[in-house]
Amino acid sequence: MTYPAPPPANEPSDPWGHPGFAPLPPVSGAPPTMPLPAAEPPPPADPGAVIVQIGELGVTSTVVRTPAGDIPLKGSTWHVTDYWHNEQKIPTWAIVCAVAGFCVLTVFSLLFLLVKETIYRGTVQVTVTNGTRQYVARIPVTAQEQVAHVHQQVNYVRSLAAI
């Protein structure tokens, strides 16, 4: 296998194979000055601390902070929709008691399998709209109390938006 010959000593070497590559001259003296970028508008003032947190929505005194950006609070409209359901299942402790009791009281231990517990699952969808801006938050719930809590929070934020 043959290797290419190294470049002559008077030509700069290009490790990446780009034509016209030349090493930079050594730096001496003051660093070069860079032109200043065009003046940018100052960032908006901090709207304050979060008053209410509804899922990923953070509500301050002036804006609603969402992952997609801020929405003004004043004049915003709020909608809540429940998408949750309940399921009934046999709890684990009842299955264990039925299996363990089967050895002692065969027929009566099967009565443990009649025990049911209710499990709540689903989401509550909260929609905030202001002008052309809209954001939908889906909050997972596992109890009726959580659904009521989200409704209470949204009603409080509605009162803040009306001020």
- pLDDT value at residue 137: 93
Q: Report if residue 13 sits inside a domain.
A: no
Q: Which residues fall within 8 angstroms of residue 139, CB to CB, at 6 or more apart? A: 54, 55, 123, 124, 125, 126, 150
Q: Report if residue 33 sits inside a domain.
A: no
Number of domains in the chain: 1
- Positions of E strands within 37-116: 52-54, 57-59, 63-66, 69-72, 77-89
Using one digit for the tens of pLDDT, what is the confidence trace for 42-54?
A: 555 556 788 899 9
Q: Report if residue 46 sits inside a domain.
A: no
Q: What share of the chain is helix, strand, coil (3-state, %, to 5)?
A: 25, 30, 45
18 residue type, one letter: H
Q: Report if residue 92 sits inside a domain.
A: yes
Cα 71 from Cα 58, distance rounded (Å)? 10
Q: Report if residue 18 sits inside a domain.
A: no
Cα 84 from Cα 18, distance rounded (Å)? 63
Burial class (CB in 10 A: 0-12, 13-18, 19+), 134: middle
* Parent domain of 95: 52-162
Cα 1 from Cα 152, distance rounded (Å)? 79
Q: Report if residue 41 sits inside a domain.
A: no
Using one digit for the tens of pLDDT, what is the confidence trace for 86-97?
A: 889 999 999 988
- pLDDT value at residue 42: 52
pTM score > 0.75 for this model?
no
Residue 110 has pLDDT above 80, yes or no: yes
Using one digit for the tens of pLDDT, what is the confidence trace for 24-76?
A: 555 555 555 556 565 555 555 556 788 899 999 999 988 999 999 899 989 89
Q: Report if residue 133 sits inside a domain.
A: yes
- Tokens found for residue 61: 């005194």
Using one digit for the tens of pLDDT, what is the confidence trace for 145-163?
A: 899 999 999 999 999 888 7
Q: Report if residue 157 sits inside a domain.
A: yes
- Tokens found for residue 148: 């009521």
How many CB atoms are located within 10 Å of the residue 127 CB? Answer: 15
